[in-house]
Amino acid sequence: MTFFNNTPEGIITLITSGIVLMGSLIIGWEGYKKRVNLYTFFFASFLSWALNFLFYGLSRFTLNKTYVIFQYLFIVFAFFFLIIAIDYAMRERISSIKMLLFGGLGTLVVYLTFLPESIIDSLWYGYPSFEWAGMLRIFGIIVILLYGLFLVYFSIITYIKCPNYLKKNAIILLSGSFIAGVIGVVIYIFIDTVFTAAIGTSIMTIAFAREPKIFFVLPYKVDRLTVIQNKSGITLFDYKWADSEIPDVLLGGLLQGVKNISVEVIQKGELKEIILTNGTLLFFLDRHITVGLLISKTSNYLRKCLKQFSIAFEQEFDKDLSLMQEFVEASRFNSAIKLVEFYFPHIPSEFNQHK
């Protein structure tokens, strides 16, 4: 028969686990719907914390040290996935050197967790409990502190770089990360209670749910999308996320020229992108149109969005594009703004606040 320790510590941690789990599921569901990897990494990190608190509570209720081991293992998992999430958010890639360094720290904590002397019996305000000891306490605290600092760092950089109309949600995100990553960590280390983490996580989840564009402030900046007719090189549709002084006629001419050169002169197929000093111009060539996307740097996610938009544009305006004439009236394609909103839903705009 399993001993049941009726302790408030277990109740607090299980409530915390439930709140954090709900927050992680909200983020995970958004990522599943939108097929965005960045959501998945944050979901995995928050889910790991939810499982950490779950095993935390179960270990205190049952006084079973096996559950304590799982508790600390999920701290490492939470830390690992957060590093991936932030690295992916800032660079859309994962640094192998960073993974090696922090992976070594996580491996050390996992090793120490299984040492008998690392987890000892203790009292939590008079109730039987456990606590970490020796080297596990030192390196475990380091991992939790780094987690909190990275979380706050991500939120600060997001706030600095986001457009003005996203500042309100960025402040919510920053407030939540500070409560969870700084105040919560300090309270957890010195007072040994975790409910503050639930408050901070809930606030962060609200920010993510209210405005998913916050996720996409850091990796790249998207300036402009232009669609030209292949026959004439006439610009059919032009959309700006950022202020640009380049006339649409000039940009359309550049797209047409590059397309012709790549296909007819180089004869290696159409050009996919041009790397500029301060940005990248992505291309997608379809039957009737060529679509260009001006961005700050290459992105696999934006390549996918560009391809989906281009195919949808061809399908939406197939009748107009199939007309056997050299010129198609551009005003017919103004409704393509709906396709932009659908296929580029997360891209922050500098001045279109309703986006």
- As separate numbers, helices (DSSP H) first and strands (DSSP E) second, the chain gives 12, 7
Mean pLDDT of 298-314: 86
Distance of alpha carbon 210 from alpha carbon 43, whole angstroms? 16
pLDDT reported for residue 1: 42
Distance of alpha carbon 354 from alpha carbon 33, whole angstroms? 22
**Which overall architecture, per CATH, does domain 8-216 show?**
Up-down Bundle (1.20)
pLDDT reported for residue 279: 74
Q: Angle 104-41-157 (CA atoms, 0-180°, nearest 5)?
A: 90
What type of residue is 56?
Answer: Y
Please count the other Cβ atoms lying within 10 Å of the Cβ belonging to residue 302: 21
User: Which residue did the predictor score with more confidence, 123 or 301?
Assistant: 123
Pick the most confident of 241-245, 272-276, 310-314: 310-314
Pick the most confident of 108-122, 210-224, 254-268, 335-349: 108-122
In residues, how long is the chain?
Answer: 355
Distance of alpha carbon 322 from alpha carbon 325, whole angstroms? 9
pLDDT of residue 10 exceeding 80? yes
Cα–Cα distances (Å) from 3 to 8, 62, 67, 138, in that order, read 16, 6, 14, 30
Contact status, residue 118 vs residue 112, Cβ threshold 8 Å? yes
**Domain topology for 222-343:** Beta-Lactamase (3.30.450)
Identify the band that residue 250 occupies on the pLDDT scale cut at 50, 70 and 90: low
H/E stretch holding 30 reads helix 8-34
The dihedral built from the CA positions of residue 281, 285, 286 and 288, taken in this order, carries a sign that is positive
User: Which residue did the predictor score with more confidence, 217 or 143?
Assistant: 143
pLDDT of residue 48 exceeding 90? yes
User: 36 phi and psi, to 5 degrees?
Assistant: -115, 120
List the chain domain ranges.
Answer: 8-216, 222-343
Helix, strand, coil percentages (3-state) for the chain, rounded to 5, are 65, 10, 25
Cα–Cα distances (Å) from 28 to 14, 41, 73, 77, 94, in that order, read 20, 9, 21, 16, 20
Identify the band that residue 21 occupies on the pLDDT scale cut at 50, 70 and 90: very high
Identify the band that residue 245 occupies on the pLDDT scale cut at 50, 70 and 90: low
pLDDT of residue 109 exceeding 90? yes
Q: What single-letter DSSP state applies at residue 347? A: -
pLDDT of residue 341 exceeding 70? yes
